[in-house]
Amino acid sequence: MSDASTKGDAMRAGRPRPATPGVHLWVVQRVTAMLLGIAVVVHLVTIVTAVRGGLTAREILDRTQGNEAWLLFYVVFALAAGLHGAIGLRNIAAETIGLRGRGADLAWLGIGLLMAAFGIRAAIGLYA
């Protein structure tokens, strides 16, 4: 309890507020969820449209090669998916096995960015 009241005094005195772990990650997760909502719809519509009349590698590359719009779309998609998934796993790990703390948070952020990097690498492969 003394901890809480000291914090309060510190805040009233105008000192920097304490870091509240999770808030920014939560905001990132919500924003990426919104992006994924749009991206998944675009993705599914593209799949359904693309498979009409058969699907070939040539057809995919014709669509994506040299097309900045698709590159941007897949980069944003991969980034959102990587971060969103990692933050979700972070929360599951915290609640089920008690894996918490700054180190774990940074590790999850790293995992999320690594996953995104794999996706972005694939998107660049389709673009180049």
Tokens of 110: 């790293």
Q: Quick check: 49 and 101 in contact, CB under 8 A?
A: no
Instruction: Using the minimum distance from each CB to other proteins, give the nearer residue, 24 or 121.
Output: 24
- 24: contact with other proteins by CB under 8 A: yes
CA 101, chain centre distance (Å): 20
Q: Which is nearer to other proteins, 94 or 113 (CB)?
A: 94
Binding status of residue 2 toward other proteins by CB under 8 A: no
- ∠ Cα 82 95 108 (to 5°): 30
Q: Which two tokens stand for residue 50?
A: 């693309």
Tell me: does residue 30 bind other proteins (CB under 8 A): yes
**Chain residues 59-88 in contact with other proteins, contact rule CB under 8 A:** none
Q: Is 8 in the site for other proteins (CB under 8 A)?
A: yes
Under the binding rule (CB under 8 A), the answer on residue 95 touching other proteins is yes
Q: Which residues bind other proteins (CB under 8 A)?
A: 1, 4, 7-8, 11-12, 17-18, 20-24, 26-27, 30-31, 91, 94-96, 100
